[in-house]
Amino acid sequence: MNVLFVHGWACGWQDWSGVASLLPDGVNNGLAKLPGSPGAVPLEGAVSLRDCAAHVIAHANDLGFDRFALVGHSMGARIAIELAANWQARVSSLLLLDGSNVPEDPDEAVARLKEQLGQLGQQEWAEATFATMMLDNLDQDQKHDLVTRAAQYPTEVLLAYYHAMAAWDRDHFGSAIDHLTCPVTILQSTSLDEHEVRRPVAAYPSSLWLDAFRARIPKATIKLVPDTGHFLMLEQPRLIADWVGDLMPVGRDIQEEKIRSCNQPKL
């Protein structure tokens, strides 16, 4: 079985290391490295989330993954949706971790971010930004790694992806989820309130992101994960590994056998 993981904005493939170490035997995993992220190929010029999806497909091709389960976090969840909507035959199942939808003018969004970076400098900006992502349950090394990685991003790369994300949220989110054909599971630990401040999902179970899936894909499995910050894969890697394990043929065979046993007539 094959599974691909896509990291979020200002993040990196390293975020999946804990999950990868827990995957069952027989799982082939690929960790996408989006262009411009630390340790990846450079990003040349502007980018769209469709470009990112194409990059992930190219990575799947390099790995020999004809069909695969797909996991995305935050911006990576958006990329995963875009990929699954446009390469439907390639994706067997979709797991979306703590995504959001913030439709706004991409030029205005980038101007605001550029101003913040100019005022604070990238290191202080990274510290302030990640402090809003509810990291209390992470250890100091994990927090340090997240902030350091974000501070290492070239400024133009942060701005390019921010523009791409805002444009996709405004122009493509709804149509993309309408074109999903594979099973969809959402693990949601936080939500953005009306002021775009990150809050615990238990207190804010409704959002543009979740409500769109509830309305457009009623069969989607939505699980609210309480007492957890934005980085689900770091705090609760077992949840993601178990989702992958449940997709494996052996796991499905056991479940089907249980169902058959329950349906057998009593003698």
Q: What is the pLDDT of residues 62-114, one digit of tens each?
A: 999 999 999 999 999 999 999 999 999 999 999 999 999 999 999 999 999 99
More confident call, 38 vs 177: 177
Percent pLDDT > 70 in the chain is 93
C-alpha 194/C-alpha 258 separation (Å) is: 45
Among 69-78, 199-208, 243-252, 257-266, name the one with the lowest average pLDDT: 257-266
Q: Does 267 score more than 60 pLDDT?
A: no
Residue 198: what pLDDT? 93
Residue 250: what pLDDT? 61
Among 5-9, 35-39, 64-68, 251-255, name the one with the lowest average pLDDT: 251-255
pTM of the model: 0.92
Q: Is 264 exposed, middle or buried (0-12, 13-18, 19+ CB in 10 A)?
A: exposed
Q: Does 28 score more than 50 pLDDT?
A: yes
C-alpha 258/C-alpha 255 separation (Å) is: 5
Ramachandran assignment for 39, one of left (phi > 0), alpha (psi -120 to 50 degrees), beta (any other): left
Read off the tokens for 259.
């169902």
Say if strands 190-192 and 221-224 run parallel, antiparallel, or are unpaired.
unpaired
Residue 249: what pLDDT? 80
At residue 257 the predicted structure's pLDDT band, cuts being 50, 70 and 90, is very low
Residue 195: what pLDDT? 84
Are 73 and 98 in contact by the 8 Å Cβ rule? The answer is yes
Residue 79: what pLDDT? 98
Positive or negative torsion for Cα 66, 71, 73, 77: positive
Contacts of 227 (CB under 8 A, 6+ apart): 137, 200, 202
